[in-house]
């Protein structure tokens, strides 16, 4: 009855009905209570995408995010005694809808979470004017690391150039890259092109040949042309910057063309369990760099079960909750929660505003001790941010598909940030010049 | 100039096994494009409606099949039940959406199919969720191994599920042509396509024909959904493949079944050849995104009705 591969549709339907009933009751109750008093809350909207071509990868992330904040609301009464309203605005991963969602939510928002590099690039200049921090964990424009230029943008805890640096380091560890050929299979979208400047720079320095291979949105599920090119080029490695259906499409083609899976590495958004489950055992050896890792035994998972799952507040299921993307959603909300807590402590008020949250996000100190205190053991590497460092450069682990799940295949890897510090400064400067007058944080001395 | 005109052909002859692989991949894509285009053509022929919902019907049919199987229904029973669902969908669309709009301008009916698309997206997501699901390829008895051949000492990989898809699609098309040409109902569909008023005047039931063509489009959607879903799973991302049928329709003509088939095969194979031998070496790749549209536009310049469409001459 319960096919783990496809999920139980009946249960899903039943759960949906129950949720609709609860929602209706909640709306009715809210309408009654709303007239009596307006509840205090911090409004942290999420520009989510549970629909459209990328929904399959969006859903577990959104569920992880929502469950963590719901758990804090239920267990601790929110953060610093004030509840978090993490209302979702559905974008379907469309840049136009994302911008609409931003405009719709910005009046009350203390943060915006755009959830796509395309949307991030569009709202980046707007947030500078509206003074709302962008929280884009592990995505967005890589030079956002430069907090002096991008005062309001955060791609904590790791950026795309960190990912590229760690992947190249890992590959170098497998044998000198000089004279090797790396195919860069990427979504033909701002996200997919993001690591190109660094990869091109490193190709020259390390002596490998880089072959960029774009995949159009309409070709995500039929990548035969791209994999024919890979067959013709005979690269030593394929590095993938894929998203949504592109990941499953690429992994299926890699299996079909018998490309050695151990030489196929994806960025963290290409490491979704459901994408590799489609090929199962045949995907054994496929790798993905990641700054998060699921730990079912972490105390936070028990708290989520107790306060969210058992209370019927989750939209997730057991299989999804054991995966990489759900746990990444948890970490993303934990980063936001740490920023809020830091700001509350600094400014002595629970009801912080967007500007104060920016300070909080610039002063996150996620040490091993703090990670354990939050119950996130083994789920995220330590990192800290500052006014000049909006990424944190946490590093990550190389994960490997063992036929049924991702396991850690490396120790904690750290990116060589000195390698591209100059590139970050140059690109950040170019962006500021192109968007002049662009206010920078000259007070920052970090 | 030499490298753009002569070298690609030299490369083809230098590695004929690779050329065969390119042509095979093009053929598989082409036949699947043709299938989607057929769904459009059938509905357009009989009702002058450009069915924007054909893409989401592919998703809906595939999700229903996978969903039913997940509930414990045996694979082939799920196929039958999915066909029942597609029939119910066809009847509902005819009753609720199309019948009240009879006689309205074509653009209204086109907008109505956009409404059907939006409804099916929302309804599908509520029932099935947006997660990627595994197509029940093996459960349906579709072989998943590959034939590895070595023509001219090279390498040619033929996936058995692709061979099955091509064979089933060919059978479906042959069956459809037989149905349209040799049966009473089939001739009624063609009659409606040729002349609406004349067909109605001889007693052909518009309602029955509409239900029938939408149901046939549903069958085509299911076959397409199984074939595409076997490649990279079943999710709402499948919907975008419907856009690949648009240049096929432009090329083959909106009313021609032969045009849909030949147009699909032409586009599938030509876009693959162009991408591999010209697009990737000289244009940075990903030419499949636009090649088919440019090809269709060039054809339209010389034959505005498409390669196989009927030339419409209106006298005023």
Closest to A147 measured CA to CA, from A362, A313, A350, A382:
A362
Residue A196: what pLDDT? 95
Evaluate whether A364 touches A392 at the Cβ level (below 8 Å): yes
Evaluate whether A245 touches B132 at the Cβ level (below 8 Å): yes
Evaluate whether B43 touches B214 at the Cβ level (below 8 Å): yes
| DSSP calls for A59-125 | HHHHHHHHHHHHHHHHHHSSBTTBEEE--B---TT-HHHHHHHHHHHTTT-S-BB--SHHHHHHHHH
Cis geometry, peptide bond prior to residue A157 (ω within 30 degrees of 0): yes
**Tens of pLDDT along B65-74?**
999 999 999 9
Q: CATH for A161-292+399-415?
A: 3.40.50.2300
Q: Which residue of A has its CA nearest to B134?
A: A278
Residue A307 is classified by DSSP as I
Q: Do domains A41-159+294-395+423-434 and A161-292+399-415 have the same CATH topology?
A: yes
Q: Which residue of B has its CA nearest to A17?
A: B126
In chain A, what residues touch B276 (CB-CB under 8 Å)?
A: 225, 228-229, 232
Helical segments of B195-256, H only:
196-201, 206-232, 245-252
**pLDDT band per the 50, 70, 90 thresholds, residue A56:** confident
Contact between B70 and A212 using a beta-carbon 8 Å cutoff = no
Residue A32 has pLDDT above 50, yes or no: no
Q: Name the β-bridge partners of A186.
A: A214, A241
**Tens of pLDDT along A329-377?**
999 999 999 999 999 999 999 999 999 999 999 999 999 999 999 999 9
Q: Say how far residue B74 (Cα) sits from the centre of its chain.
A: 26
Radius of gyration of chain B (CA): 21
Contact between B70 and A257 using a beta-carbon 8 Å cutoff = no
Give the pair of three-digit tokens for residue B237: 């991302």
**Tens of pLDDT along A270-297?**
999 988 988 889 999 999 999 999 999 9
Evaluate whether B139 touches B2 at the Cβ level (below 8 Å): no
Domains of chain B: 2-302 (1.10.3470)
Cα end-to-end span (Å), chain A = 58
Residue spans of the domains in chain A: they are 41-159+294-395+423-434, 161-292+399-415
Torsion of CA B162, B168, B173, B177, to 10 degrees: 160
Evaluate whether B247 touches B267 at the Cβ level (below 8 Å): yes
Cα B298 to Cα B175: distance, rounded to the nearest angstrom = 32
**pLDDT band per the 50, 70, 90 thresholds, residue A35:** very low
Evaluate whether A167 touches A289 at the Cβ level (below 8 Å): yes
Q: How far is CA B304 from CA B251, B268, B299, B308, B309, in A?
A: 9, 21, 7, 10, 9
A121 part of contact set with chain B, CB < 8 Å: no
Cα B266 to Cα B251: distance, rounded to the nearest angstrom = 9
Residue A37 has pLDDT above 70, yes or no: no
Cα end-to-end span (Å), chain B = 49
Closest to A98 measured CA to CA, from A124, A74, A68:
A124
Contact between A53 and B236 using a beta-carbon 8 Å cutoff = yes
Evaluate whether A61 touches A328 at the Cβ level (below 8 Å): yes
**pLDDT band per the 50, 70, 90 thresholds, residue A179:** very high
**Tens of pLDDT along A367-419?**
999 999 999 999 999 999 999 999 999 999 999 999 999 999 999 999 999 98
| DSSP calls for A225-244 | HHHHHHHHH--SEEEEE--T
Q: Give me the residue from A50, A249, A278 closest to B134, CB to CB.
A: A278
Residue A25: what pLDDT? 55
Q: Name the β-bridge partners of A264.
A: A238
Cα A88 to Cα A101: distance, rounded to the nearest angstrom = 9
A234 part of contact set with chain B, CB < 8 Å: no
Highest mean pLDDT among A307-311, B153-157, B179-183, B307-311: A307-311
Residue B315 is classified by DSSP as -
Q: DSSP 3-state helix, strand, coil percentages of chain B (rounded to 5)?
A: 75, 5, 20
CATH match of A41-159+294-395+423-434 with 3.40.50.300:
no
Contact between A245 and B235 using a beta-carbon 8 Å cutoff = yes
The average confidence (pLDDT) of chain A is: 90
Nearest chain B CA: its distance from A212 CA (Å): 8
B150 CB-contact burial (10 Å; exposed 0-12 / middle 13-18 / buried 19+): exposed
Radius of gyration of chain A (CA): 21
Q: Which residue in A61, A93, A220, A245 has the most chain B C-beta atoms within 10 A of its own C-beta, making it the best mutation to test that interface? A: A245
Q: A400 in helix, strand or coil? A: strand
Q: Which residues of B5-16 are buried (b: 16+ CB within 10 A; e: fewer)?
A: eeebeeebeebe
Outline where DSSP puts E strands in B150-286. 156-159
Cα B170 to Cα B179: distance, rounded to the nearest angstrom = 14
Q: Give me the residue from B127, B237, B244 closest to A9, CB to CB.
A: B127
The helix-helix angle for B245-252 and B16-47 (nearest 10°) equals 70
**pLDDT band per the 50, 70, 90 thresholds, residue A21:** low
Cα A274 to Cα A326: distance, rounded to the nearest angstrom = 11
Give the pair of three-digit tokens for residue B63: 């999700």
Here the ipTM equals 0.85
In chain B, what residues touch A245 (CB-CB under 8 Å)?
A: 132, 232-233, 235, 237-238
């Amino acid at each position: 009855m319960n096919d783990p591969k496809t999920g139980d549709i009946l249960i899903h339907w039943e759960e949906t009905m129950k949720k609709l009933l609860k929602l209706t009751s909640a709306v009715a109750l809210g309408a009654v209570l709303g007239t009596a008093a307006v509840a205090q809350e911090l409004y942290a909207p999420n520009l989510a995408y549970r629909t459209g071509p990328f929904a399959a990868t969006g859903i577990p992330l959104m569920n992880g995010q929502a469950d963590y904040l719901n758990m804090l609301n239920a267990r601790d009464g929110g953060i610093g005694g004030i509840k978090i309203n993490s209302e979702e605005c559905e974008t379907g991963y469309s840049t136009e809808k994302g911008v609409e969602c931003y405009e719709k939510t910005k009046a009350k928002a203390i943060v915006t979470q755009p959830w796509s590099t395309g949307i991030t690039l569009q709202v980046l200049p707007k947030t500078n004017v509206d003074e709302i921090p962008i929280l884009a964990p592990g995505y967005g424009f890589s030079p956002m690391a430069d907090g002096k230029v991008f005062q309001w943008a955060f791609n904590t805890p790791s950026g795309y150039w960190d990912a590229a640096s760690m992947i190249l380091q890992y590959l170098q560890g497998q044998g000198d890259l000089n004279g090797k050929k790396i195919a860069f299979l990427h979504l033909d979208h701002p996200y997919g092109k993001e690591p190109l400047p660094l990869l091109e720079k490193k190709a020259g320095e390390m002596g490998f040949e880089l072959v960029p291979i774009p995949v159009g949105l309409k070709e995500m599920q039929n990548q035969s042309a791209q994999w024919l090119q890979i067959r013709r080029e005979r690269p030593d490695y394929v590095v993938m910057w894929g998203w949504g259906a592109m990941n499953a499409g690429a992994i299926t083609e890699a299996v079909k063309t018998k490309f050695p899976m151990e030489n196929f590495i994806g960025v963290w958004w290409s490491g979704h369990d459901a994408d590799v489950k489609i090929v199962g055992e045949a995907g054994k050896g496929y790798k993905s760099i990641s700054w998060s890792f699921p730990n079912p035994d972490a105390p936070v998972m028990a708290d989520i079960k107790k306060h969210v799952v058992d209370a019927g507040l989750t939209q997730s299921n057991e299989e999804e909750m054991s995966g990489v993307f759900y746990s990444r959603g948890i970490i993303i909300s934990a980063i936001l929660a740490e920023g809020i807590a830091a700001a509350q402590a600094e400014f002595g008020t629970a009801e912080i505003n967007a500007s104060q949250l920016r300070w909080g996000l610039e002063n996150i100190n996620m040490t091993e001790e703090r990670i354990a205190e939050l119950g996130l053991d083994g789920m995220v590497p330590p990192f800290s941010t500052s006014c000049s460092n909006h990424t944190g450069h946490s590093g990550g682990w190389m994960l490997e598909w063992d036929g049924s799940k991702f396991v850690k295949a490396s120790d904690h890897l750290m990116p060589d940030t000195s390698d591209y510090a100059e590139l970050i400064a140059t690109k950040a400067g170019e962006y500021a010049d192109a968007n002049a007058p662009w206010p920078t944080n000259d007070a920052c001395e970090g | 100039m030499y490298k753009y005109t002569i070298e690609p052909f030299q490369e083809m002859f230098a590695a004929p096994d690779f050329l065969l692989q390119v042509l095979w991949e093009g053929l598989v894509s082409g036949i699947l494009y043709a299938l989607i285009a057929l769904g459009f053509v059938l509905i357009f022929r009989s009702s002058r409606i450009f069915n924007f919902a054909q893409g989401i019907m592919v998703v809906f049919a595939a999700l229903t099949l996978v969903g039913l199987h997940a509930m414990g229904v045996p694979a082939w029973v799920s196929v039958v039940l999915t066909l029942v669902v597609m029939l119910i969908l066809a009847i509902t669309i005819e009753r609720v959406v199309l019948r009240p709009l009879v006689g309205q301008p074509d653009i209204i009916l086109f907008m109505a199919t956009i409404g059907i698309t939006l409804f099916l997206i929302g309804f599908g997501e509520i029932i099935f969720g947006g997660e990627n699901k595994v197509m029940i390829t093996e459960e349906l008895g579709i072989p998943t191994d590959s034939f590895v051949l070595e023509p001219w000492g090279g390498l040619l990989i033929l996936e058995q599920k692709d061979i099955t898809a091509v064979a089933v699609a060919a059978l479906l098309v042959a069956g459809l042509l037989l149905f349209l040409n040799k049966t009473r109902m089939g001739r009624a569909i063609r009659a409606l396509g040729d002349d609406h008023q004349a067909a109605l005047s001889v007693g052909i039931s518009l309602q029955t024909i509409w239900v029938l063509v939408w149901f046939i489009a549903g069958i085509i959607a299911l076959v397409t959904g199984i074939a595409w879903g076997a490649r990279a799973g079943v999710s709402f991302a499948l919907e975008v493949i419907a856009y690949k049928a648009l240049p096929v329709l432009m090329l083959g003509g909106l009313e021609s079944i032969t045009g849909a088939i030949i147009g699909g095969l032409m586009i599938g194979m030509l876009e693959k050849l162009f991408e591999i031998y010209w697009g990737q070496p000289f244009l940075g790749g990903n030419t499949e995104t636009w090649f088919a549209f440019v090809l269709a536009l060039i054809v339209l310049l010389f034959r505005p009705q498409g390669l196989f469409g009927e030339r419409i001459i209106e006298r005023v």
